[in-house]
Amino acid sequence: MWERGRPPRKQRPAPLILPASALVSPPPPRFVFPRSLFALAARAMPSRRPSPVILLLLALALALLFLLLSPSGPSASRLSHSFVSTSPSSSASSLPSPVKIYLYDLPSKFTYGVVRSYMSARVPSGSSDAAAVLADEELRYPGHQHSAEWWLFKDLRRRGPRDRPVARVDDPAEADLFYVPFFSSLSLVVNPIRPPAAANASEAAATAGPSYSDEAMQDELVEWLERQSYWRRHQGRDQVFICQDPNALYRVVDRISNAVLLVSDFGRLRGDQASLVKDVILPYSHRINPFKGDVNVDSRPALLFFMGNRYRKERGDIERDNWREI
């Protein structure tokens, strides 16, 4: 029944009564992440043990697919470029350009003249000087320990292949560095400690006093360089000297301290004269004769050999420690 003039009331829906078991939320879906691609491949295969060959092929295929689809992976063009770059012709063209060196054409007295002076100072009295009549190319460096200055000079004079890391140029305007081929270590020992004995007193008086002056040669060398425009351009910073002997170029080292020095160590050089920032350590040539016999060292993992004076320069601290360890 309803009152006249009023719409009938809507009946409320009866409440829906669910069992208690339905009120429990279903468990979330369970995702199983395999520990590796091999586990995923094993699940996709039959229950029997998969073949190792098939697993290997699948792993290679997945690895290739990952490389192709990854953002940082190589694209097809980059892959083709990498394959092409392995060819001999392309590898030769990808080599870094060599350092261009200009070899100063010094007066002969600074190069071959030093060798002649060394040999002449050791000619016995009354004997002929064979070095005086030899051509420059027939001369040989008389020493061994500091022979790097000789071989660098000879190597730069030789026209080598184009794939060398250093290339000599004839035009100084194209050069990156300028090499000064003065035999500074040999010049230091031109005058022998014990000159050859004279046959008589007159010869001794005639040969008294050294005829070669290393200090004068150093001064003349720097004066010659200071007249060169390419030395003045950068105050010698792109010039290269070799002075392996610790006393080589000692008189003018302050005047050439801007240059690149090829030294054996920094023992007698100050920090404002040489450093690892601009200079290069050039080790001595070894002076140990090789032993060709059987020394029974095949079973030893390391070999040590000590040769030299234990107490020499700077109190021999390092030599003494090495001696005790060995």
Q: How confident is the prediction along the chain (326 residues), in pLDDT tens digits per residue?
A: 555 556 666 566 665 565 555 555 556 555 444 455 445 555 555 555 556 667 667 777 776 666 665 554 444 444 344 434 445 555 555 667 889 999 999 999 999 999 999 998 888 877 777 777 888 888 999 877 888 999 999 999 887 666 678 889 999 999 999 999 999 999 999 998 766 655 555 555 555 555 899 999 999 999 999 999 999 999 999 999 999 998 999 999 999 999 999 998 888 899 999 998 999 988 777 666 666 777 677 777 777 766 655 555 555 676 677 777 76
Domains in the chain: how many in total? 1
CB crowding 152-165: b at 16 or more within 10 Å, else e: bbeebeeeeeeeee
Report if residue 14 sits inside a domain. no
Report if residue 289 sits inside a domain. no
pLDDT value of position 130: 77
Report if residue 183 sits inside a domain. yes
pLDDT value of position 81: 45
| Chain Cα centroid distance, residue 236 | 23
The number of residues in the chain equals 326
Structure tokens at 295: 């020394």
| Strand-pair category, 177-179 with 166-168 | unpaired
SS3 41: helix
Report if residue 202 sits inside a domain. no
Report if residue 249 sits inside a domain. yes
Domain range holding 262? 99-192+211-281
Contact present, 157 and 170 (Cβ < 8 Å): no
Report if residue 115 sits inside a domain. yes
Contact present, 188 and 252 (Cβ < 8 Å): no
Report if residue 173 sits inside a domain. yes
76: which residues sit within 8 A by CB, 6+ positions away?
68
pLDDT value of position 299: 76
